[in-house]
Amino acid sequence: MEMPTPEPRVLSRKPSIVARLRSVLPSDAVIDDPTATRAYECDALTAYRCPPLAAVLPASTDEVAAVLRICHEEGVPVVPRGAGTSLAGGALPTADCVILGLMRMTEVLEVDLSDRLIRVQAGRTNLSVSGAVEADEFFYAPDPSSQLACAIGGNIAMNSGGAHCLKYGVTTNNLLGVKMVTMTGEILEIGGGHLDAAGLDLLGVICGSEGQLGLVTEATLRILRKPEGARPVLIGYDSNEVAGACVSDIIKAGILPVAIEFMDRPCIRACEAFAGAGYPDCEALLIIEVEGSEAEIDEQLGLILQIARRHNPVELREAGSEDEAKRIWLGRKSAFGAMGQINDYMCLDGTIPVSSLPTVLRRIGELSDEYGLDVANVFHAGDGNMHPLILFDANTPGQLETCEALGAEILKLCVEVGGCLTGEHGVGIEKRDLMEVQFSAEELETQMRVKDVFDPQWLLNPAKVFPLATSAARRAAGRDAAA
Amino acid sequence: MLAPWSEAELADLIRGAEAPLVVQGGGTRPVGRPVDGTRLSTENITGISLYEPGALTLVARAGTPLAEIEETLAAENQVLAFEPPDLRAVLGTEGTPTIGGVVATNASGPRRIAASGACRDALLGVRFVDGTGTVAKNGGRVMKNVTGYDLVKLFCGSWGTLGVLTEVSLKVAPKLSSATIAIRGAEGADALSAMTDAVTSPFDISGAAYVPGEAVYLRIEGLEASITYRAGRLQSQLAGFGSVEITDDREASAAIWQRLRDVRDFADDSYALWRVSMRPSAMFDALIAGATELAPLDYRLDWSAGLAWLRLTEAEARTIANARVPGDSTAATGAAILHQKLQDITAAAGGHATLFKAPEALRRSVPSFQPEAPGIAALSQGLRAKFDPRNLLNPGLML
């Protein structure tokens, strides 16, 4: 993966840049020792690594602003980092950048159950946001798989989703406001406790901008009262088409489950071998979860099962107890771990119109044969967000490249049928060079204009999202302005 | 009036334009600073281009009448979950509301407080022509999409100031049965408490509104047995606030929410009308208390007290002027004083107040939209300058 050549002017000034950073932060919050900066050399896209010039760990918005003012004056690129769980390389450094890590900013600043909101520092983990209101029977809805580790700041940067967003939406639908520091060190309050924007919806474009528009230091998030209960059901089919038709019929019938997860045979087998959840050996498996009181759950599941039976399932299992519910989710939740045990894998994230599901799965099977690498599919079927896992061996020369080529083909297929390259992981560096498959040059231009307004010198996470050649002129102009 | 028949014709027209254009759909929401220019309507760029009920997706050209979309959805027992208000009666306008106009104004009804959210939350993709005449798309027609920047949200509620929408793609929802709970006798702070109690219960409230002197209304939707169950639980939970009655007739329940959604109560006899968005906990203490110091205004609350509509009659406006400016009893002066007061309150307490209806002269003399903090205003202005560098599209409307 190509990255921009580090700026010699910045590399040669490292000692004075680090000294300036030390003048505004506690000394243990500036990391420049080459062995220590290696901790920040990659995120969860571990195939690509590069230690940064330095890493800083500010503890307040004011400290973030001080760091950004210095980096702006020095012309140093800044790469924001939440918890480093990006699967797309969103927090991958360059050798001339400062990593700005949020892990010391984890405070809960305000909880207001009546107004149904919580305000937290952006380094707080997703799960601990829910944790802060759990005793009051409230929760924060977006639930990315990495929720134990990932930071809210990263969730906002990537507009993260999760299994339950079919009902509750993704990060952007649950974000009410941010405190954000611009690259020049200006502190802005955008949104707040109210439900819509006063003027242009800047919050809407900041969410999902991959840390390229500003550093979010605080977030006001919508919290919701927990439903009385939830129960999953497991349904097995002997073909992907039939499983897809079942999903479509459930949605058409007016039932909106909180989650509809889909696994194909390679994935079912791997999960079964790993977790022993007792899944049937079939072509396609659906896990559907509904919420409410016992009676409400019975009513919804009754309808779902009625529809499911019309499609002749090979297996139909309703959780009769908390323990059975856990077993139904066990295999699905350990899917990535199961794959990791068999092989190295690359996890894709394209979204497709639900109606294209059977076609896309068939075509992925053909591509898998063509490239000689196995692909297992696990995904959020209700909203068409696919997660094909391509299995490969990183130690076999050439396999990573073959895997990436197959991944690119699958993502192009997603775009071709009316979908997109990434549903919840973000573009980062991983899908950066595929952006032209989905967008015309003019369309990329309209997006880059937004960055021009927020960060005219292109210093914030500059080598991400847009193909390097497309952003080259802007990055060069910013560099010249800084010099 | 210019009303091109296609996106390509529209793009040509904008490329060739030399003077400001008054961008509109059906022209039923004349809000903001009046723009002097040639009217440009998308009313001829029409048609539903894709509808997949099983995928909950609908794509339509911007000029498609809202009514056509709602009829098409109804045939499959589906709806737009954000239930866009029809403000013709209250704003005193005629014409045909279009889906493009709904999106450009982020028009969102009572269901804003439910998981389905506002128009911006249901909007999956847009096509538009910007002020340079460039045609572009953003987002798409799938439910989850984080590919590139989210200009979809940016365009939603941009009132035609960044570009002219030509096509929108929306997430639609199943039409559910509903019941309405009316609580009579809970007024003022008690009304707020009743709404708060309901929306923080596990019973999935999809509407919470307050008509002073009449009732607090709560809506529950879903499958039949579930509605009965939740209505029963809420009835006992809220009994302490007043008399609680349940309307489970589907049409009667829908009529209540349509009236509240469209602010029908203020269709007659309003000199000026404001729409205020705030945290519920600040609504009474800061806004209603502050506003009614000047005059005994009538108001309606929606979004569980997160949204207020305030109505000023001509007589009330004169009273305010008389009391505040010796020798001046014009309604415009009174309305301007109240306007300033509302925007001061929201600036201090968080949120925003928008002058939604007023005589044109008043709309020319005050900023209808809440003035933004300098840093935010600079970003908004910067974005407009990039998307519309020649200042052609509804210039100044939001300022």
Q: Compute the distance between CA of residue A3 and CA of residue A194 in angstroms, rounded to an integer.
A: 41
φ, ψ dihedrals at B380, nearest 5°:
-60, -45
- Long-range contact list for A458-461, CB < 8 A, 24+ apart? A459/A71, A459/A72, A459/A75, A459/A76, A459/A77, A459/A78, A459/A183, A460/A77, A460/A78, A460/A80, A460/A183, A460/A211, A460/A212, A460/A213, A460/A214, A460/A215, A461/A77, A461/A78, A461/A79, A461/A80, A461/A90, A461/A210, A461/A211, A461/A212
Question: pLDDT tens for residues A311-321?
Answer: 999 999 988 88
pLDDT on residue B380? 98
Question: pLDDT tens for residues B67-88?
Answer: 999 999 999 999 999 999 999 9
Structure tokens at B367: 């900023």
pLDDT on residue B342? 98
Nearest CA in chain A to B134: A442
The ipTM, to two decimals, is 0.97
Q: Which DSSP category does B239 fall into?
A: G
Structure tokens at B318: 């004169």
Res. A465: pLDDT tops 90: yes
pLDDT on residue A113? 98
pLDDT on residue A368? 95
Give the amino acid at A388: P
Res. A162: pLDDT tops 90: no
Give B375's contacts in chain A (Cβ within 8 Å). 182, 186-188
Read off the pLDDT band of B200 (50, 70, 90). very high
pLDDT on residue A338? 79
| Residue burial B206-237, b: 16+ Cβ < 10 Å; e: rest | bbbbbbeeebbbbbbbbbeebbbbbbebbeee
Structure tokens at A13: 């000034």
Contact B144 A423 (CB under 8 A): yes
Question: pLDDT tens for residues B147-183?
Answer: 999 999 999 999 999 999 999 999 999 999 999 999 9
pTM as predicted? 0.97
Of A115, A172, A443, the CB nearest to B279: A115
Q: What is the mean pLDDT of residues B268-293?
A: 95
Of B77, B112, B372, the CB nearest to A195: B112
Q: Smallest Cα–Cα separation from A268: which of A400, A414, A389, A413? A: A389
pLDDT on residue A419? 97
Read off the pLDDT band of A344 (50, 70, 90). confident
Question: pLDDT tens for residues B321-336?
Answer: 999 999 999 999 999 9
Give A241's contacts in chain B (Cβ within 8 Å). none
Contact A446 B134 (CB under 8 A): yes
Read off the pLDDT band of A163 (50, 70, 90). confident
Read off the pLDDT band of B199 (50, 70, 90). very high
Contact B375 A186 (CB under 8 A): yes
Of A187, A190, A299, the CB nearest to B226: A299
Nearest CA in chain B to A186: B375
Q: What is the mean pLDDT of residues A128-154?
A: 96
pLDDT on residue B42? 98
pLDDT on residue B183? 98
Query: Mean pLDDT in chain A?
Result: 94
Q: What is the mean pLDDT of residues B338-359?
A: 98
Contact B367, B346 (CB under 8 A): no
pLDDT on residue A50? 97
Contact A424 B146 (CB under 8 A): yes
Question: pLDDT tens for residues B129-138?
Answer: 999 999 999 9
Give A173's contacts in chain B (Cβ within 8 Å). 115, 117, 121
Question: pLDDT tens for residues A102-127?
Answer: 999 999 999 999 999 999 999 999 99
Question: pLDDT tens for residues A432-443?
Answer: 999 999 999 999
Contact B384, B299 (CB under 8 A): no
Give B134's contacts in chain A (Cβ within 8 Å). 442, 445-446
Question: pLDDT tens for residues A176-200?
Answer: 999 999 999 999 999 999 999 999 9
Res. B337: pLDDT tops 90: yes
Q: Compute the distance between CA of residue B156 and CA of residue A181 in angstroms, rounded to an integer.
A: 24
Kindly report which listed range (A269-278, A346-355, A453-462, B267-276) carries the lowest average pLDDT score. Answer: A269-278
Q: What is the mean pLDDT of residues B371-391?
A: 98
Contact B2, B40 (CB under 8 A): yes
Kindly report which listed range (A50-64, A74-88, A378-392, B362-376) carries the lowest average pLDDT score. Answer: A378-392
Contact B270, B299 (CB under 8 A): no
Q: Smallest Cα–Cα separation from B202: which of A127, A259, A229, A170? A: A229
Q: How many other C-beta atoms lie within 10 A of the C-beta of residue A23?
A: 10
pLDDT on residue A3? 95
pLDDT on residue A334? 81
pLDDT on residue B356? 97
Query: Mean pLDDT in chain B?
Result: 97
Read off the pLDDT band of B54 (50, 70, 90). confident
Question: pLDDT tens for residues B219-254?
Answer: 999 988 899 999 999 999 999 999 999 998 889 999
With tokens 């529209």, the residue in question is: B10
pLDDT on residue B83? 98
| Residue burial B19-31, b: 16+ Cβ < 10 Å; e: rest | ebbbbbbbbbbbb
Contact A249, A290 (CB under 8 A): no
Question: pLDDT tens for residues A220-279?
Answer: 999 999 999 999 999 999 998 899 889 988 988 888 899 999 999 989 998 888 888 899
Contact B379 A209 (CB under 8 A): no
φ, ψ dihedrals at A108, nearest 5°:
-90, 125
Res. B269: pLDDT tops 90: no
Give the burial class of A401: count Cβ atoms within 10 A of its Cβ; 0-12 exposed, 13-18 middle, 19 or more buried. Answer: exposed
φ, ψ dihedrals at A333, nearest 5°:
-70, -20
